[in-house]
Amino acid sequence: MKVLMNKLIKDIKEKLKKERIKLTDARALMLYVLYDLIKQGEFVSEFSAEKVCYFLQKFGAEKYFKLKYQPNFYGPYSGKVRFVLNYLSGSYILGYSDLNKRPFEPLLLVPDGDEEVRNYIESKPELKAIAQKTVKFLDGFYSDFSLELLSTVDWIMNKKNTNDIDVIKQELNKWSERKRTRFSDDRYIKIAIKHLRDAEVR
C-alpha cells in the first residue's frame, strides 16, 4: 500500500510538472526572489510579491515587468502583481486561485519548482545579474515591516530627491496615520536610508 501511495504521489507531481505554465523572464524573476524569501523564513503573500517586483524593477527588470507603481496604503503598489500570482496558481503557487485574497494572506510555493526557476534564471546572464542583485539587497529585509519601510522610504527619496531624514519623516507623517505610527522610530528610517544609499538603488 505504501509503495502504491508513493508511486501515486510521484505520478501526480510529474503530471503537475508537465502541466505547468511556461516561465517568462518576468515570472521567473519574481519566483526566484520569492523562493529566496521562503528560505529566509518569511511567508509569500500578494504584498511581499508586490514589493519584490518593485525592487526587481529598481535593479533593472522594469523592461520585463513594466509595472507602474503609485503611493498606496502599504507604500508603493502597482495592483497588477496579483494577476501574475493568479496565473501562476496551480503551477508554482498554491492558494491564489481567485483574486479576492487579502494582501498579507500567506501563499505557498510549490517546492519542486525552485530548481526549474533557478535553472531558467541562471541560463540568462542578464536575468541572473538582476536576480542576484535583488536577493543581495533584500537579504535580511524580507519581513513585511522591512519591505514596506524600504519601498516607502525609497519612493520618498526619489520623489523628493532627498536623503534628509527630517524631510523623509515629514513625508511619512503626511502619507498616512499608519506610516506615522508604524515608522516612528528614527533608527529604522536611518537603517533604510543607509541600505538604499549603499546599494545605489535607482
Contact indicator for 138, 159 with CB cutoff of 8 Å: no
Phi, psi of 197 (to 5 degrees): -70, -45
Phi, psi of 60 (to 5 degrees): 115, 5
Instruction: Using the predicted structure, report yes or no on whether residue 101 has a pLDDT greater than 70.
Output: yes
Asked if the structure places residue 149 within a domain, the reply is yes
pLDDT of 29-76, one tens digit each? Answer: 999 999 999 999 999 999 999 999 999 999 999 999 999 999 999 999
The domain total for the chain is 1
Q: Which three cell numbers stand for residue 59?
A: 535593479
Beta bridge partners of 71: 76
Asked if the structure places residue 126 within a domain, the reply is yes
Other beta carbons less than 10 A from residue 189's beta carbon: 19
With bands split at pLDDT 50, 70 and 90, how would you rate the model's confidence at 17? low
Asked if the structure places residue 9 within a domain, the reply is no
pLDDT of 133-190, one tens digit each? Answer: 999 999 999 999 999 999 999 999 999 999 999 999 999 999 999 999 999 999 999 9
- C-alpha to C-alpha distance for 62 and 55, rounded to whole angstroms: 9
| pTM higher than 0.85 | yes
Which residues constitute the domain of residue 56? 21-199
Instruction: Using the predicted structure, report yes or no on whether residue 13 has a pLDDT greater than 60.
Output: no
Q: How far is CA 65 from CA 14, 24, 32, 90, in A?
A: 30, 10, 14, 21
Asked if the structure places residue 130 within a domain, the reply is yes
